[in-house]
Amino acid sequence: MKQHDAIHAQAVQGQSPPLWRLLQGTAAAVQAMRQGRSLTAQLDTVPAELRPGVQALSFQVLRQLGRATALRQLLASKTPPPAVDALLCSALALCWNDELALYPIHTLVNQAVEAARQQRTTQAQSGFVNACLRRFMREREALVQSTDADPQAQWNHPRWWVERLQADHPLHWQTLLSLAQTPAPMTLRVNTRHHSVAAYQNQLTALGVSSKAVGAQGLQLSKALPVNQLPGFAAGHVSVQDAAAQLAAPLLMQEMDTQKAWRILDACAAPGGKTGHLLELYPQAHVLALDVDASRCERIHQNLQRLGLQAQVKAADAGQPAAWWDGQLLDAILLDAPCTASGIVRRHPDVRWLRRPTDSGQLAQTQAMLLKALWPLLKPGGRLLYCTCSVFKAEGDETVQAFLQRNTDAQLRPSPGHLIPGQAPASLPVDHNPMGEHDGFYYALLEKRRG
């Protein structure tokens, strides 16, 4: 369901709060994000009756915040107080383009001014907000045109992010930036222990939900559904997982006997989607799932319980094996390493504004440390699948090539490398259908040489 459709549906049912209240919540989300808080964490604090509308507006605002910030700088050369600036930028993001506007422009402006009047932190400057937005309505075409040359306004990403993509992906950087402005599709992973993909697709069709097969076990829905409306979700018949993420388990274990009791480590496992996929495909495997955050380990337990699967779950730092490793060498390791999440910015539009230019390099050091710590735990002939949901090469190809130079007992098996949204993968060494729409991802399959 599109964002404005969700808000409209509430209004039709007589449930929608006043728009000015939703704008207050949206501005608070922008202000919190600028102070370093994730949108997910901020939305958790929003009252339940406001949350759907605030989330829809916040996603739209964060996807247009580059343009809005440039416009605000033209309207007010001196930065207003944080709460006022957040409200003003939110309003501008929502009304600068008629085709993108979720409400009539005059309604947005009137309600933004009302939001300023109704809140203590902005009340004193409600006149300033009104004056800026009225001027914007009068001079909108000229003001927008004045910001067109600004890359941050044009692409709605920080300038450094645009430049990084231009350097890393000279043929695809525009595609990456454009796709980041569109909502991501909902993709399911069918648990083929219960149903074939075709059989589950028929169940969806019977409910009036169209879908298409993607990958070996995936179905991409034409419209998103609440999980409690998915047939058999509570019984583990299906999971929500992007098509790119669904490659991890089959890539790691390709050509390995599905009935053997392999010893597998899922090194950064929360929330447990890939852990569950491994056990669906290799039910006899002994899987150790780690996550450094104990509360996130509970998510792994919940997901495995829903799927009817078992793994050993530990709250531990994968980079400190002495604290958790039993000394027995492993057959396979899945390392979904911490990263900038630059490949999933469609799903998390705040990521582009939360990240800093130095983050990628710092995270690359963490990724290299994890590879160094985990490699000795692998048997000769064993495999380690390194992956990140990043499209930055510092967290993909560059990290892996540096590792290979330092470890002569490691060899790179055929691997997808960087998966670019909107581009067909060059090669995938697993059985698959066309992947459809997918997130940005990186995969490198490393094998330890025997002898």
Residues carrying an active site annotation: 389
Count CB neighbours of 106 within 10 A: 11
Burial code (b: 16+ CB inside 10 Å, e: under 16) for 249-271 equals: bbbbbeeeeeeeebbbbbbbbbe
Q: Which residues pair with 214 in a beta bridge?
A: 218
Rounded (5°) CA angle 88-92-94: 120
Strands (E), 174-291: 187-190, 211-214, 218-221, 238-240, 263-266, 286-291
Contacts of 278 (CB under 8 A, 6+ apart): 249, 252, 253, 264, 266, 285, 287, 334
Distance CA 441, CA 443 (A): 7
Helix or strand holding residue 10 (H, E): helix 3-12
**Bridge-based pairing state of the strands 286-291 and 218-221:** unpaired
Q: How far is CA 118 from CA 5, 114, 256, in A?
A: 26, 6, 63
Report the distance separating Cα 88 and Cα 284, nearest Å. Answer: 57
Residue 12, C-beta contacts closer than 8 angstroms, at least 6 positions apart: none
Question: Rounded to 5 degrees, what are φ and ψ at 446?
Answer: -110, 135
CA distance 174 to 133: 31
The Cα-based distances of 296 to 199, 271, 293, 343 in angstroms read 33, 6, 5, 21
Q: Are 163 and 169 within 8 A, CB to CB?
A: no
Q: Is 21 exposed, middle or buried (0-12, 13-18, 19+ CB in 10 A)?
A: buried
Are 114 and 87 in contact by the 8 Å Cβ rule? The answer is: no
Contact 157, 70 (CB under 8 A): no
Q: Is 14 helix (H, G, I), strand (E, B) or coil?
A: coil
Residue 111, burial from CB neighbour count under 10 angstroms (0-12, 13-18, 19+): buried
Burial 381-398 (b: 16+ CB within 10 A, else e): ebbbbbbbbbbbbbbbeb
